Amino acid sequence: MSTLYRPEPVPIDVPAEPAVRLIPLGGLGEIGLNMMLIESGDDIIAVDCGLLFPDDEMPGVDYVIPDFTYLREHRERFRAVVLTHGHEDHIGALSYLLREFDVPVYGTPLTLAIAQHRLQELGVLDRADLRPYAPGDEIRAGGFVVVPIRVTHSIADGIGLAIETPVGTVIHTGDFKLDPRPVDAEQPDYAKFAALGERGVLCLCSDSTNVGRPGRTGSETEVGEALAGRFAQAPGRILVATFASHIHRIQQVLNLAQAGGRKVALLGRSMVANVAVASEMGYLKVPEGLLVSLEDLGGLAARKQAILSTGSQGETHSAVSLIAAGEHKYVEVGPGDLVIFSSRVIPGNERVIGRVINALLRRGAEVLWEDVAFVHVSGHASEDDLKQMMEMTRPRYFMPVHGEYRHLLQHSRLAESVWIAKDRIFLVEDGLGLELSKSGARVLAGYPAGRVFVDGKGIGDVGQVVLRDRQLLAEAGMVVVALTVDKITGSVVAGPEIASRGFVYMKESGELMEEVKQAVREALAARQEPEVIDRELIGAVVRSAVRRFINQRFDRKPVVIPLVLEV
């Protein structure tokens, strides 16, 4: 057994009795890339279709999307996509999916509006069949009946799903927390979850992101109350950096600015777009005359200014980073100004955000972030909330979702500590599937579920070999050796000439380059001439000679590219 909660998987086969299969294509083994297939009989639906933002090990990659191979192999059975909420890690890959599949996409109005903006940018909107739903509606897709259930999260219109299958009800919580005082007063539908538990839940798939945090996740309203004191005390302008999708956080900042007699300018394309969409649809209430342009804001006294901006993760070209560097066209910060990073730090971004915070502090601004002040609360359930979800639904089987392996394992242990028997808890990662039937459950192996890299307009043409080459180039640079040989005798007619990028500065390394050339000449002179002159063999000799020389001299291993021409 590979782990306490995952029996040895068996190969995919035809189920012996009516069954439902839960097949994660992403999101179980990482934070992001969320997509799970629900399969039963002749029908498949997808819950979410998200992307993953690249890390330092993916140089040049724009996005990572799920592998749709299994859907391609069974496209005639693919019935629908059901979205839980509008975050990029749940809807960001939708435009790539809809290029290949003509299936309806269901979501709440706000979720579809955010998705629509992305689809339009990538030229897929015309072929998208977007169908809005509301909590309590019934969505029929093949043999499935899907009922949306209201939950709270760090974006408005968060939804969990009750999926009626031929063998029982599967609950997928989506990303959730149990907020007793949400900004929009729309509490999670506790009664619906409890009623499903009374009737009988086959399997609970529950959000694992905050499983390591004891107690309950704080209310979004508490953040607004904490920020109110900061707004009241700030003598100068206030800049709040947060996620553009966090409509409730944005609402509270707008309310505080209005109460303090401040005007608000928006920074960041996604911030401007989301505020416009959310206010038009009634999810955001913007006081009349509160929003002004940056130019008009600059004409006001600093204590009358507030700025809502994207860039809370310290992105290189974001407005906040430009302001910190003193390079923004309209905004400068200094003593008396307050900058608030009202968001969590996404793992991996700590160093980048730290640089931006340091730069702002050097300019004399006061800076608040999650580590030093209460300026943010999570949108994910902590351990007591997770236990409450299990107690309300009382599932026969439990499968943690949305998290790295450590999160899934901790959540499995938490479920066992509540009352769920360990042989009914299944730790499943991408590429595996959980089959559930009336008689039992088993884990299946063999589902294609790799990561597909998007680089510019290329989808899937960058793989691990290309990424390894990019990493090598980034770490040690490149040396190009060009020479011309006689195609009859193999003797060197011209060269070798050396070019380098990322290895040494050529203009200051003339003597070194001459030594590299001499190493190449000696290696070519020492080789045994074959009867047929082969450019590939000559190139291999050149590559080996340059690598050996550089490794012995510098203990470095740049990429060496020989260019051999024949005359």
Which are the catalytic amino acids? 207, 380
Nearest C-alpha neighbor of 228 from the set 218, 216, 240, 217? 240
Beta-carbon count within 10 A of 486 CB:
12
φ/ψ region of 89 (left if φ > 0, alpha if ψ in -120 to 50, else beta) reads alpha
Cα separation, 404 vs 400, whole angstroms? 10
Cα separation, 361 vs 339, whole angstroms? 9
Instruction: With H, G, I as helix, E, B as strand and everything else as coil, classify residue 457.
Output: coil
Cβ pair 45, 79 in contact under 8 A: yes
Burial class (CB in 10 A: 0-12, 13-18, 19+), 552: exposed
Nearest C-alpha neighbor of 149 from the set 330, 383, 389? 389
Instruction: With H, G, I as helix, E, B as strand and everything else as coil, classify residue 479.
Output: strand
**Crossing angle (nearest 10°) for helices 220-233 and 247-259:** 30
Report CA-CA distances (Å) from 515 to 143, 544, 558.
73, 15, 16
Nearest C-alpha neighbor of 308 from the set 281, 278, 348, 351? 278
Beta-carbon contacts of 375 under 8 Å, excluding residues fewer than 6 positions away, are 223, 226, 227, 230, 340, 341, 342, 368, 369
Beta-carbon contacts of 531 under 8 Å, excluding residues fewer than 6 positions away, are none
Cα separation, 523 vs 537, whole angstroms? 12
Helices (H), 326-404: 350-362, 383-393
Residue 18's Cα: distance from chain center in Å? 35
Q: What DSSP element (H or E) covers 11?
A: strand 10-11
Q: Please, what's the b/e burial string for 36-66 (b: 16 or more CB within 10 A of its CB; e: otherwise)? A: bbbbbeebbbbbbbbbbbbeeebbebebbbb
Beta-carbon contacts of 430 under 8 Å, excluding residues fewer than 6 positions away, are 24, 25, 26, 27, 28, 29, 30, 33, 449
% helix / strand / coil in the chain, to the nearest 5? Answer: 35, 25, 40
Nearest C-alpha neighbor of 79 from the set 143, 35, 21? 143
Task: Give the β-pairing of 63-66 and 441-445.
Answer: unpaired
CA angle (260 as vertex; 256, 262 as ends), nearest 5: 90
Cα separation, 196 vs 187, whole angstroms? 17
Beta-carbon contacts of 170 under 8 Å, excluding residues fewer than 6 positions away, are 20, 22, 38, 162, 163, 201, 202, 203, 205, 436
